[in-house]
Chain A
Amino acid sequence: MSSIIIGQYVPANSVVHRLDPRAKIVMIFCFVVFVFFANNTLSYAWLTVFAVASALLTQIPLRFIAKGLSPVWFLIIFTFILHLFVTNEGTVLVELFGFQIYSGALIQGVAISLRFFLLILFTSLLTLTTTPIEITDAIETLLNPLKKIKFPVHELALMMSISLRFIPTLMQETEKISKAQASRGVDFRTGPLKDRIQAVVPLLVPLFVSAFKRAEELAMAMEARGYQGGEGRTRLRELVIVKRDWLAMLAFALVIAGLFFFRY
């Protein structure tokens, strides 16, 4: 349980860790868009080299990166196999149990799975090298222009920070409640379906009560300390863009330019 609470962040002191979280978010969103422009072997190879190089730059042990990718291996392999049997372009390579596997299918299967792999590898670098708090701060500053259209950016960031703080607490609470109810004889494991679903109710009611009680106490405590919204607030952690971030973004722009160069 404790491993999930920390999330995926792996502490280290690499270049990627020290980059400004806003720069990282912008680059990753651009990468997500531009991956779809790759259309031949060279452009895919170029992006793969770039993504793997960035992963190596983070100095995170490979097993952590692999662990982050583990829930999606299934998706990648499934997509690949589905493509093998669905697409019928090119020449027939092998016949398997009455299915014909075409060369076009093989190529497309590899391309789509590789695209997935790249997307997932690169986006997981953000969460591997940046703490959720940093990302929340970065989202707040990146969304700042939306304040012009009266979108409550500060409130959103505050809400996310509060829930970040209380998710582990409420998870422990859930565990405690389920044990307490089990010791009173609530049976979550056996019995007909109806009874099992009914057993969720004695879990949910105390959970809601506890959550809402905490919410009220927290609001009271915040107001007692003079909290009054985003206007004129200063922050503990200021995000500053330095030369390193500009260099990283320049390098990224060159990679994207390279992608368009290799495309045809």
Chain B
Amino acid sequence: MKKYQTIDLTYSAFFICLMAIGSNITFWIPFLAIPIGGVSVPVSLQTFISILAGIILGKRLAAFSIFGYLLLGIAGVPVFAQMQSGIFVLFGYTGGFLLSFIVTAYLAGLIIEIKKPFTKRSIFLASLSGTLVNYLIGVTYMYIAMNTWMGLEVSYYASWVSMIPFLIKDLGLSLFITFALYSVIQRLSLLQKKHI
């Protein structure tokens, strides 16, 4: 196993900071709430940032960085969405989404590694599968959480239906931003290869 360089560590530390900001982006852009089907869904950039972490840091370091983000949140730093923190956030309905960011980052990094060279297509695949895996784990976790320790009986189907607006939002957002930032990401990943 390759030892991490200092620059790897500082980069992943700053990705933790970016995750913290991305989770609460509506704090700085308060009117960025997307109306879907009459419900106003507040935007968070967590999915996008974890995909970006996968693309820039590579699969292993990105997963490691997101793991650090979760631990920091557990340690009581308000880095989760709505400035929440603490271990109970992971036990709540949406804890699975947080846990799945590790897999999302890893998967995005993996796809970028397999699909060389770096093209729009590989970026599209990375964001698409990253977001889908995010919801697959998140919703399944929500279903399990509700039916076991929350003591509520909700069908798997119903939990999916309730999360569909969010899925559309996150899918659209991460695809849109990765494309809008395509040239930036491309240059960043080149820059990163030079260093790391």
Q: Which A residues are closer than 8 A to B by beta carbons?
A: 4, 7-9, 28, 32, 36, 71-72, 75, 79, 82-83, 86, 108, 112, 119-120, 123-124, 126-127, 130, 132, 135-136, 139, 150, 152, 155-156, 158-160, 162-164, 166-167, 170-171, 174-175, 178, 188-190, 193, 196-201, 203-205, 207-208, 211-212, 214-216, 218-219, 222-223, 227, 229
- Are A204 and B87 in contact (CB-based, < 8 A)? no
- Which residue of chain A is the closest to B191 with respect to CB atoms? A212
Q: Which of A72, A83, A201 makes the CB contact (< 8 A) with B177? A: A201
Chain B nearest CB from A30 CB (Å) reads 12
Q: Closest 6 interchain pairs by CB?
A: A127-B76, A162-B13, A163-B16, A135-B75, A219-B7, A215-B10
Q: Which of B10, B28, B77 makes the CB contact (< 8 A) with A164? A: B77
B9 within 8 A of A: yes
B18 within 8 A of A: yes
Q: A197-B32, A216-B7 are in contact. List 15 more A-B contacts (CB 8 A).
A: A8-B85, A36-B149, A82-B152, A83-B151, A112-B151, A135-B75, A159-B68, A160-B16, A160-B68, A162-B10, A166-B17, A167-B21, A215-B10, A215-B11, A215-B14
Residues of A within 8 A of B85 (CB): 7-8, 127
Q: How far apart are the CA atoms of A167 and B71 in the complex, in Å?
A: 15
- Are B152 and A196 in contact (CB-based, < 8 A)? no
- Are B151 and A108 in contact (CB-based, < 8 A)? yes
- Are A155 and B4 in contact (CB-based, < 8 A)? yes
Chain A nearest CB from B18 CB (Å) reads 6
Residues of B within 8 A of A223 (CB): 6
Known: A83-B151, A123-B87, A201-B180. A218 touches B10 (CB 8 A): yes
Q: Which of B88, B153, B173 has the most CB of A within 10 A?
A: B88
Residues of A within 8 A of B195 (CB): 216
- Are B28 and A174 in contact (CB-based, < 8 A)? yes
Chain A nearest CB from B12 CB (Å) reads 6
